[in-house]
């Protein structure tokens, strides 16, 4: 089973939260209620939610420097960090997110630590990523907590610490309420090794052809022959996966990928 791309998956949840805040604020304005955010901060959320990260970053900095409300300043600091992360400005992202991580508001601090964790994952710093994601998981609630512990478990899998990864995945499972998320966590708990996957095919014949081709590459290397694995995709369709090897750590799988001269696709976590 493929490991989900952590930054895309976790950040999607953060974007949904941002969009929900904007929607709630709009409803309060229409019904005459009192909004909890200034118009300037609402604009930060709106720009972030529509993918205009450069504007979200600019407006968030304006809120930080102009507001007298400490809570708003902390929230704007978080959003500045998240927008900077999307803009690949990692120096600014780290600076703002670390400040937001000191907030006494658990959701702000938790989201900040989660995003720092994603930055560590992208840089291959899995121990640091795990520390940040566990901090996030302890601060957040519900499905946000579940996602943080899910990706904390994934980072330990990459390090070959499978039993500890299962502990984090169990914490994720306990917090998750979304059916799709619970299924993903349950599947991940079954995995105990890494493999190289060279293809996924609807036809068994095509999969066998790929298996024979890849097995020829393995000759002379200390790797097991390619195997065909029967699986079911997210649409419930039967597919045939072609995989090589069972490696304890992600790094060993990546090294084997280099030996075989395979394209730079990510190794996958699988049951042994």
Model pLDDT for residues 49-84, shown as the tens digit of each residue? 999 999 999 999 999 999 999 999 999 999 999 999
DSSP 195: E
Facing residues of 197 across strands? 243
Among candidate residues 72, 55, 84, the one with its CA nearest the CA of residue 21: 72
Question: CATH top-level class for 6-189?
Answer: mainly alpha
pLDDT tens track, the chain, 272 positions: 233 334 444 454 454 444 444 433 333 333 344 334 568 899 999 999 999 999 999 999 999 999 999 999 999 999 999 999 999 999 999 999 999 999 999 999 999 999 999 999 999 999 999 999 999 999 999 999 999 999 999 999 999 999 999 999 999 999 999 999 999 999 999 999 999 999 899 999 999 999 999 888 888 787 888 999 998 887 888 999 999 988 999 999 999 888 888 887 788 888 86
Kindly calculate the radius of gyration of the chain based on its CA atoms and give it in whole angstroms: 22
Predicted confidence at residue 2, as pLDDT, reads 31
CA–CA separation, 74 vs 71, rounded Å? 5
Every domain of the chain with CATH number 3.30.70 lies at: 193-270
Predicted confidence at residue 228, as pLDDT, reads 94
Facing residues of 73 across strands? none
The distance in angstroms from the start CA to the end CA of the chain is: 12
Predicted confidence at residue 117, as pLDDT, reads 96
Predicted confidence at residue 218, as pLDDT, reads 84
Q: State the pTM of this model.
A: 0.79
Give the CATH number of domain 193-270.
Answer: 3.30.70
Every domain of the chain with CATH number 1.25.40.10 lies at: 6-189
């Amino acid at each position: 089973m493929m490991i989900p791309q952590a930054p895309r998956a976790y950040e999607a949840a953060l974007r949904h939260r941002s969009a929900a805040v904007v929607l709630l604020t709009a409803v309060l304005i229409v019904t005459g209620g009192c909004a909890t955010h200034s118009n300037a901060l609402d604009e930060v959320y709106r720009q972030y939610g529509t993918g205009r990260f450069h504007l979200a970053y600019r407006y968030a900095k304006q809120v930080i420097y102009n507001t007298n409300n400490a809570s708003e300043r902390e929230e704007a600091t978080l959003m500045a960090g998240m927008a900077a992360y999307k803009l690949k400005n990692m120096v600014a992202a780290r600076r703002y997110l670390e400040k937001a991580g000191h907030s006494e508001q658990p959701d702000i601090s938790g989201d900040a630590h989660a995003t720092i964790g994603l930055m560590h994952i992208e840089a291959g710093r899995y121990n640091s990523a795990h520390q940040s994601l566990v901090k996030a998981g302890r601060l957040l609630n519900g499905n946000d907590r579940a996602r943080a512990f899910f990706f904390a478990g994934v980072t330990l899998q990459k390090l070959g610490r499978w039993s500890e990864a299962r502990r984090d995945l169990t914490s994720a499972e306990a917090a998750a309420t979304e059916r799709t998320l619970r299924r993903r966590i349950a599947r991940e708990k079954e995995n105990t090794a890494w493999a190289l996957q060279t293809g996924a095919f609807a036809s068994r014949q095509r999969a066998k052809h790929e298996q024979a081709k890849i097995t020829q590459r393995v000759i002379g290397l200390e790797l097991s022959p390619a195997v065909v694995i029967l699986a079911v995709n997210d649409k419930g369709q039967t597919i045939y996966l072609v995989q090589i090897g069972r490696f304890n750590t992600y790094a060993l799988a990546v090294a084997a990928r280099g030996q075989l001269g395979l394209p730079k696709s990510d190794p996958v976590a699988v049951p042994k």
